[in-house]
Amino acid sequence: MTVVGPFGVSVRDQALEADLQTGLTAVEAGLVEATKSDVPFLNDTAQHLVRAGGKRFRPLLVMLAAQFADPHAPGVVPSAVVVELTHLATLYHDDVMDEAEVRRGVPSANARWDNSVAVLTGDFLFSRASAIVAGLGPEAVRIQAEAFERLVTGQILETAGPRSGDDPVDHHLEVIAGKTGSLIAVSGRFGALLSGADEATVHTLTQFGERIGMAFQLADDVLDITGDPHESGKTPGTDLREGIDTLTVLRLRQQAAEGGSPEDRALVELLDSDLSDDARHAEALAGLRAHPTLASARADALRYAASAREALAPLPEIPAKAALAGLCDAVADRTV
């Protein structure tokens, strides 16, 4: 059994392993090339997160989706570079909005430089992604534009919060679908489309990407409460400090408001206090780790991972299908 890709995904086929390793190596070179600038300072800021590494989940999905047609088609690697550049650009912007200090185990761009530099660097990466996707044809440009619209809409929905009468949990899932599901769905779609797969296969892999993207983000939200910073590269409880309510917290709030226990209400009161205080922050994390709504959030991540696996049913039984099913298991395992 060989291990390749993020989350320890197992690949049992040597030919597939070789294709993935070759493709991801080409993507890495493409990312470095795409983030080069004649301006030395911009060169440093644009390559800051590229060189910090990362899971490269989206490029891996592009490569796996391409296996259902011609994985060596000329548009496959550039499309993987496009989705990762777009993802990186959103990280620069997200860190400004969230006032994050660490990203991928290194100081965030806004912490190392300042907010203006981080925002402009994100814009630079978006421009480079746009230049590359323009070479992939008008359909690819349209797909990227639609995904970008969904991504931005998801961020605006998160910033604005649910409207009066909206279910906060449903609103949160809509935010995740836009901010995370959209681009991961495009990863599956680009890999299939640009490798020359038929329309049904493109649709299947787009649906898989959307669902695994939801599972990915819900698992990430659980990890914000339970995770080890040495493994995730992020400080646990970052969302708590920033006042971002993930599914665990939203369900706790609902439970407390609908006749929950005094302990539920006390934990909500603690979450609404000043969590810049380390002792209160640690107490809040401990309370959430012990609360049943954390198990409920885990169950939601597992549900989306199972739905992603079900979406794979129409695909032929090739090694790439087994690897995609392995992604479902690996994403789910992150919640344990």
pLDDT, residue 45, reads 79
CA trace torsion 88, 90, 93, 94 (10° rounding): -110
pLDDT, residue 110, reads 66
**What are 96-144's pLDDT values in tens digits?**
666 556 565 576 666 666 677 778 888 888 899 999 999 999 999 999 9
Q: Which of 155, 177, 196 is the last residue of a domain?
A: 196
Give per-residue burial for 142-156: e unless 16+ CB within 10 Å, then b.
Answer: ebbeebbebbebbbe
Residue 143 and residue 106 share a domain: yes
Helical H segments across 99-196, by residue range = 109-112, 115-134, 138-160, 168-176, 182-194
User: Would you say residue 131 lies in a domain?
Assistant: yes
User: Would you say residue 307 lies in a domain?
Assistant: yes
Residue 304 and residue 249 share a domain: yes
In the block, residue with structure tokens 């609103």 = 171
- Evaluate if pTM is beyond 0.85: yes
User: Would you say residue 324 lies in a domain?
Assistant: yes
Q: Which of 161, 196, 231 is the last residue of a domain?
A: 196
Residue 51 and residue 102 share a domain: yes
SS (H, E, C) 69-99: CCCCCCCHHHHHHHHHHHHHHHHHHHHHHHC
Residue 140 and residue 265 share a domain: no
Residue 161 and residue 254 share a domain: no
pLDDT, residue 37, reads 84
Residue 103 and residue 168 share a domain: yes
User: Would you say residue 73 lies in a domain?
Assistant: yes
**Dihedral of CA 208/332/243/266: which sign?**
positive
User: How far is it, in rounded angstroms, from Cα 239 to Cα 225?
Assistant: 9
Radius of gyration of the chain (CA): 20
Domain enclosing residue 38, as ranges: 12-196
Of 102, 125, 138, the closest CA to residue 32 belongs to 125
What are the structure tokens assigned to 313, written together? 């049913």
User: How far is it, in rounded angstroms, from Cα 160 to Cα 84?
Assistant: 26
Chain-centroid distance of CA 314 in Å reads: 25
Residue 30 and residue 119 share a domain: yes
Q: Which of 168, 196, 224 is the last residue of a domain?
A: 196
Residue 41 and residue 144 share a domain: yes
Residue by residue, DSSP assigns 189-256 as: HHHHHHTT--HHHHHHHHHHHHHHHHHHHHHHHHHHHH--HHHHSS-TTHHHHTT---HHHHHHHHHH
Of 183, 88, 80, the closest CA to residue 133 belongs to 80
User: Would you say residue 6 lies in a domain?
Assistant: no
pLDDT, residue 3, reads 40
Residue 239 and residue 127 share a domain: no
Chain-centroid distance of CA 304 in Å reads: 14
**Residues in the chain with pLDDT values less than 50:** 1-8
Residue 235 and residue 209 share a domain: yes
User: How far is it, in rounded angstroms, from Cα 290 to Cα 192?
Assistant: 42
Residue 262, domain CATH: 1.10.600.10
User: How far is it, in rounded angstroms, from Cα 262 to Cα 174?
Assistant: 30
Of 187, 182, 122, the closest CA to residue 155 belongs to 182
pLDDT, residue 9, reads 58
Count of domains observed in the chain: 2
Query: DSSP character for 318?
Result: -
Asked if 307 and 327 touch (Cβ cutoff 8 Å), the reply is no
Q: Which residues pair with 103 in a beta bridge?
A: 106
pLDDT, residue 118, reads 78
Residue 161 and residue 203 share a domain: no
User: Would you say residue 302 lies in a domain?
Assistant: yes
User: Would you say residue 3 lies in a domain?
Assistant: no
pLDDT, residue 253, reads 93
**What are 64-79's pLDDT values in tens digits?**
999 999 999 999 999 9
Residue 233 and residue 126 share a domain: no
Residues 6+ apart with CB under 8 A from 212: 61, 184, 304, 305, 308, 327, 328, 331
User: Would you say residue 205 lies in a domain?
Assistant: yes
In the block, residue with structure tokens 């969904």 = 150
